[in-house]
């Protein structure tokens, strides 16, 4: 299956409720620090919205809940790989995206036969404190050369204005977080993203 080129990430299902009617086709639900009943409820709601709207839902981190709720996709960071039961995940038929920041992490990710690889932060990011400050567009081109046909996601400091450069450098998909959720008019920003990526 081909993933949409625009990949918003939301930290609450309420964002998805607002943005699904605009025509997004791919979304990650990335919730931090919530009790399990709340997580389960949000993922279940997100799954229903996505099924009804033809959106591919990717669940960040919570692979056990994703399996329980019969989701199709998960996204794992490098720390998640330390604890995830990859054999069980594959048996459940889950498709997997994996975050990478350097060559060692890329090699590790490729060892798990991922369905996409994410590289970031391409630009300085306001959201996370990281030891990687800025990967740059050149590294996107390098990564694309290394991973071939596996879809490559550019993430970190991405904006509508920066998206064309990321695609030109080799990204197949561009992911955005704060460019939407911190915007004065998030709906208008999503519309601009859809215009820029379709």
Active site residues: 30, 99, 128
The answer to whether 159 touches 126, Cβ cutoff 8 Å, is no
Q: Which candidate, 32, 59, 6, 4, places its Cα nearest to that of 191?
A: 6
Which residues in 111-144 are b (16+ Cβ under 10 Å) and which e? eeebbbbbbbbbbebebeeeeeeebebebbebbb
Phi–psi pair at 24, nearest 5 degrees = -65, 150
Strand ranges (E), 18-65:
26-29, 56-60
Cα separation, 77 vs 51, whole angstroms:
25
Provide, for the chain, the percentages of residues in helix, strand and coil under a 3-state DSSP scheme, each rounded to the nearest 5: 45, 20, 40
Cα separation, 122 vs 184, whole angstroms:
23
Cα separation, 67 vs 159, whole angstroms:
32
């Amino acid at each position: 299956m081909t993933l949409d080129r625009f990949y918003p990430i939301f930290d609450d299902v309420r964002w998805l409720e607002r943005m699904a009617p605009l025509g997004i086709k791919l979304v990650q639900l990335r919730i931090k620090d919530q009790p399990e009943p709340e997580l389960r409820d949000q993922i279940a709601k997100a799954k229903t919205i996505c099924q009804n709207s033809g959106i591919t839902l990717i669940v960040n981190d919570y692979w056990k809940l994703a399996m329980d709720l019969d989701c199709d996709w998960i996204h794992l960071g490098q720390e998640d790989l330390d604890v995830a039961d990859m054999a069980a995940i594959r048996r459940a038929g889950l498709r997997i995206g994996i975050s990478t920041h350097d060559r060692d992490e890329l090699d590790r990710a490729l060892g798990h036969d991922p369905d996409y690889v994410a590289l970031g932060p391409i630009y300085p990011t306001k959201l996370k404190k990281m030891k990687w400050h800025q990967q740059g567009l050149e590294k996107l081109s390098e990564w694309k050369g290394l991973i071939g046909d596996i879809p490559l996601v550019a993430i970190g400091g991405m904006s509508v204005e920066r998206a064309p450069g990321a695609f030109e450098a080799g990204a197949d998909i561009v992911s955005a977080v704060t460019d939407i959720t911190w915007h004065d008019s998030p709906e208008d920003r999503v519309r601009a993203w859809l215009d820029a990526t379709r």
